[in-house]
Structure 1
Amino acid sequence: MTKRRSVVATILAGAALLAAGAAAAQADPRDPLEPINRGVDALNQRVDRAAIQPVARAYERAVPSLVRRGASNFFANLGDVWSAANSVLQVKPGDAAQNFMRFAVNTTAGLAGVFDVATDIGIDRHKEDFGSTLARWGVPAGPYMVLPLMGPTTLRDAAGLPVDWAGHPLGQVSPAASRNAIAAAGAVDLRARLLPLDGALDQAFDRYTFMRDAYLQHRDAQVRDGEAAGAADAEPVAADGADPDIQAN
């Protein structure tokens, strides 16, 4: 009996080692902090389900869609200012001009940004932040991270957050109580807009992996699009002012 138990224990230990080896082989190199990130993500889920999600659902039910759209436009309009500043830092004069123009048009004709007049007349939004500015100048993304209450990010983007907070127009609002109240309203509005994604996340085989891969894919595409725009802005023109890519017939 003792010998049999010893054999069983050896088999189980070997299986455990094989499972650990398989898990290590399948580990995503972009996510070396996965055990810690999973713990933070689980905490974020509990907080979201207990407090944030119910508030967002109540907001969605109680506030008419037209008013909610106006609130979303207002916060996006504030973001256009910081996007414009980062477009300047990234040497994208075309994007910077459009973002500044968006803010000017929406703040005036759009009644402080409640109405997105700029989009209606064809002025594009180019969303930028300090993380994308760091990327523009060659700073790698670094490992994937999940921040308490804030969710997915990367080491590079997390390092840029203090600059984003200081540079965003909301960072200039005083007193602090007013600033925090506006920021909280913006967070509730954002969470309400993300409610349609809850079903897909809940049905995912591994919610954590699904969110991580979706976030990294989206962020990579966002940064690459920004780099492409920067290259276009820096593209030389011919001496007569014509675009060199346009060939004469």
Structure 2
Amino acid sequence: MLFLCIIVLQGCVSTPKNGGQELDPVDPHEKINRVSYDFTDKVDRMVFEPVVNSYITYVPDAAQRSIGNFYDNLSYPNVVLNSFLQGKVKQGTEDTLRFVVNSTVGLFGLFDMATHMGLQKHDEDFGQTLGVWGVNPGSYLFIPFLGPSSERDVTNIPIGLFTNVLFYAGLAVGTSFAAPLTILGAIDKRARLSGPMRIRDEAALDPYLFVREASLQQREFLIHDGKLPLDLYYDPFQDNPFEKDSEKTKTKTKTEKKL
């Protein structure tokens, strides 16, 4: 919650670059990304927002929590896989137990029994795994309907699909079974974003920059498990906050040689 507040405040003060002539090294595809963002936002306001508002208003909170738990559990094998890929053997084992417990005792994930048993919920994906392996995020991307991503993190889209139980349920039972669940999952995901999106609409000078800066910082936060190195506590106005430290290292080496 503290981290969310920080990125919200930093996003609120984000302003467009003057002139728009120089390409942002973090977001060289900004023009295309903005078109994608604006299109997605318009469709969201016309289609999803009215449906989600009704969902939040008329579906009891307890039911919303159970629905959210259900979809979190369906996608949890992705967390399990990437915990192991990152070398977190103990966490991966606990994540496996969490998935098994919630899928059985928790009635297909509707109830988060694992948390009550002391099995903590984690958030891992293949983009984070690549980050842990040292892969740079590359250029920022805004994927239509899927939201903010990067050249590195976009790799999680196919991995997330193939590790989702719903994907295999659809193959086994058919589209008539998977399609309604997919739609409900999209509504659930959008409902969880209602709070941050409302803050964005009310406070951000430039909603696009708000989303971009917040998402980039959140990704770094997740990759480092909340333990960010000091050099990643960057100024949101600097040109390239995720620039390699090679130039800094070269400068430091030259200085040391002179001394």
TM-score in terms of structure 2 length: 0.75
Distance 1:182 1:85 in 2: 23
The 8 Å contact of residues 144 and 152 in structure 1, kept in 2 or not, is answered as: yes
Distance 1:35 1:146 in 2: 11
Give the secondary-structure state (helix, strand or coil) at the position aligned to 2:109. Answer: coil
1:54 — aligned with what?
50
2:190 — aligned with what?
191
Q: Rate the CA distance shift 1:226–1:92 in 2: closer, same or farther, 3 A.
A: farther
2:199 — aligned with what?
200
Rg larger in structure: 1
Q: 1:23 aligns with which of 20, 25, 31?
A: 20
Give the secondary-structure state (helix, strand or coil) at the position aligned to 2:134. Answer: coil
2:148 — aligned with what?
152
2:94 — aligned with what?
98
The sequence identity of aligned pairs, in percent, is 37
Distance 1:166 1:24 in 2: 41
Q: Rate the CA distance shift 1:102–1:115 in 2: closer, same or farther, 3 A.
A: same
The 8 Å contact of residues 77 and 163 in structure 2, kept in 1 or not, is answered as: no
Matched pairs, number: 208
* Aligned pairs (5 A) from 1:1-249: 22-24=19-21, 28-174=24-170, 175-203=174-202, 204-225=204-225
How many Å apart are 1:21 and its aligned residue? 7.5
1:15 — aligned with what?
none
The one-letter amino acid paired with 2:209 is T
Distance 2:18 2:227 in 1: 38
The one-letter amino acid paired with 1:145 is L
Distance 1:189 1:178 in 2: 17
The one-letter amino acid paired with 2:113 is V
The one-letter amino acid paired with 1:188 is I
How many Å apart are 1:227 and its aligned residue? 9.2
* Structure 1 unaligned regions, length at least 5: 1-19, 229-249
How many Å apart are 1:28 and its aligned residue? 3.4
Give the secondary-structure state (helix, strand or coil) at the position aligned to 2:149. Answer: strand
How many Å apart are 1:88 and its aligned residue? 1.7
The 8 Å contact of residues 76 and 164 in structure 2, kept in 1 or not, is answered as: no
Distance 2:206 2:176 in 1: 39
2:231 — aligned with what?
none
1:124-183: CA deviation from partner (whole Å, max 9, x where unpaired): 112111212222222221111011111111111113311221222122112133223212
How many Å apart are 1:39 and its aligned residue? 0.7
Give the secondary-structure state (helix, strand or coil) at the position aligned to 2:75. Answer: helix
1:200-219: CA deviation from partner (whole Å, max 9, x where unpaired): 11121111101100011001
Give the secondary-structure state (helix, strand or coil) at the position aligned to 1:126. Answer: coil
Q: Rate the CA distance shift 1:227–1:135 in 2: closer, same or farther, 3 A.
A: farther
The one-letter amino acid paired with 1:41 is Y
Name which structure has the greater RCO, CA cutoff 8 Å, separation 6+.
2
Distance 2:24 2:90 in 1: 37
Q: CA RMSD in A?
A: 2.0
Distance 1:21 1:47 in 2: 28
TM-score in terms of structure 1 length: 0.78
Q: Rate the CA distance shift 1:89–1:226 in 2: closer, same or farther, 3 A.
A: farther
The 8 Å contact of residues 33 and 144 in structure 1, kept in 2 or not, is answered as: yes
